[in-house]
Amino acid sequence: MSPRNRDYIFCLSCDEQKFFYLGVAMAKQTYDLPSKKTVRRAGEVLRSSDSSQAEKDLAIDVLSQWRSLFYRPINTFQALIRKKIKDAGIKNAIVAQRLKRTPSIVTKLKRFPDMQLDRMQDIGGVRAVLNSVDEVRKIHSSLVDGRHKHSPVLPPKDYITEPKQDGYRGIHQVFKYSTTQHAELKGMQVEVQIRTKLQHYWATAVETIGVIEKSSFKTGLGDEKFKQFFRLSSALFSIQEQEPVVASLRDKSKLEIAEEFSLLEKELGVFDKLAAFTSVVKAVSGVENKKANGYYLLMLDTDKKLTSFIPFAADQQDIAEQVYTLVEQREKENPNIDVVLAAAGDMKDLRTAYPNYFVDTKAFISSLKQICAEITKN
């Protein structure tokens, strides 16, 4: 093991060290790539409530192998997007990538009975967070119309022009990856999410309140008052960006939306809950990656109010994926643990791209307070 690995392995618990070393050993193994038919069958097993535990365990292994294939495509798109942003002269943008969590994949298979695992479009994802809607549309256009060999799947999902019913906004564009060097990767689909900072604050707050209330608001579950709160907060951000609000609120004036939001926020105590949770969550870590564009395994323990991360260098993606899979398996019965393998430029970018794992919702709160104050003043 290289000295670089030893630098941070001692920052892990004893159990995590065991998983790390096991991950190193497993990463040295080679696997036969699963066929799409095998992947599709694994998805059916994971969707079914009648599958045995042995069948599920085998299906999870297939899913992990399939998911690991997305590393090269999402690395390619992260680099492409960074170049587009640089060429456009856009400052203070954040670009990050992630592999979809196993629980999220299984939940999506169960929510959409006709979905096939081998055709799921967002297992590998890249996210760009920009300063304005104009920048979002500019980068989206440059990706779709630009000179590269990857094919866009049109039309895109433009949730800025037509927000989702729950208030989610952003642009989702799927591309089919093209390569001449790795035939097994050709045609794999990568989802690129492009959103503004305000849209990102909103999405982060939804996930954080979901953790606090132990309810998956992003999948349509949860108390109706909280869901209305997020529709109203989305509408306020839409008003600020001069874009259409969610359809269910289009018959209301700006003042009515702001007043209803303020009353509901006081009733639910959302800001207080976010602030209190943020104040007790501690972030602990090993050693930050010395170089940019490495990987981080992020773990949020909502019971212990603790966020931890394990850093990996850019050339350690195989080890990172194996440790990710092992930790997911270890914690699969623990509802208090949320884990994801992500990549960003550096720790600052990582905190901005995945603030829900660091429970940072200050920008969400301050932005809404300012928007409401401006609306009610006028």
pLDDT per residue as tens digits for the range 41-71: 999 999 999 999 999 999 999 999 999 999 8
Burial annotation 175-207 (CB, 10 A radius, 16+ → b, else e): bbbebeeeeebeebbbbbbbbbbbbbbbbbbbb
Assess contact for 154 and 180: CB atoms under 8 A: no
CB 340 within 8 A of CB 357: yes
Quick one: tokens of 206? 């939804």
Top-ranked range on mean pLDDT: pick from 269-273, 305-309, 326-330, 349-353: 269-273
Q: What's the confidence (pLDDT) of residue 22?
A: 44
What's the residue count for the chain? 378
Q: What is the pLDDT of residue 25?
A: 43
Residue 113 confidence (pLDDT) above 70: yes
Average pLDDT over the chain, rounded to whole? 86
Residues 6+ apart with CB under 8 A from 177: 73, 76, 77, 150, 185, 186, 187, 188, 189, 190
DSSP of 67-127: HHTTHHHHHHHHHHHHHHHHHTT--S-EEEEEEPPHHHHHHHHHH-TT--GGG-TTSEEEE
pLDDT at 216: 82
Per-residue confidence (pLDDT) for residue 157, from 0 to 100? 97
Which tokens hold the place of 338? 């949320």
Residues 6 or more apart whose Cβ sits within 8 Å of residue 318: 27, 68
Is a pLDDT exceeding 70 seen at residue 21?
no
CA 225 to chain centroid: 25
pLDDT value at 85 more than 90: yes
For the ranges 1-5, 58-62, 83-87, the lowest mean pLDDT is seen at 1-5
Residue 177 has pLDDT above 90, yes or no: yes
Please report, for residues 165, 174, 286, the alpha-carbon distance to residue 191 in angstroms, rounded to integers and kept in the order given.
Answer: 21, 4, 31
Identify whether the C-beta of residue 169 lies closer than 8 Å to the C-beta of residue 132. no
